[in-house]
Amino acid sequence: MLKEGDKAPKFSVTAHDGSTVSLSDYKGKNLILYFYPKANTPGCTHEANAFRNDMDKFKAANTEIVGCSGDTVEAQKRFQEKLNLNFPLLADTDFQVVEAYGARRMKSFLGKTFLGIVRTTFWIGPDGIIRKIWNNVTPKGHGAEVLAAVQES
């Protein structure tokens, strides 16, 4: 399991627009890499909107946002377009990035246990080191919480 102070695992995966997004694309900047269970669901929509709405403030703090789930490129594209998001959504359909960051774990819902993506956010510093990890995120208020942490640094 990753912890704060660890080197962030490298990744290179297809985004909603068909481009390839890699960790190295963000060298010299803060990166907020957040994992969410499924595009176009209420919690994921709330979380994405919060990051979108504060994008100018994140950019002022030398910070970029990237969302990631196991959804297909097409599903990510629909989600991105529907919400008019101003950051990439990664289509990690083989769960390589999700698993490298430890965001795919056993979950429980309505008495059933299953393997799924746990809402997790990583703040990766300009040097590629994990500065902060938020586990089991509650979507409401999370964007503001992440922004406050980045602005305080």
Residues belonging to the active site: 44
Closest CA to 66 of 79, 82, 81, 85: 85
Proportion of the chain in helix, strand, coil states, percent, rounded to 5 = 30, 30, 35
Residue 115 has what DSSP assignment?
Answer: E
Cα 85 from Cα 93, distance rounded (Å):
20
Run of H or E residues at 120: strand 120-124
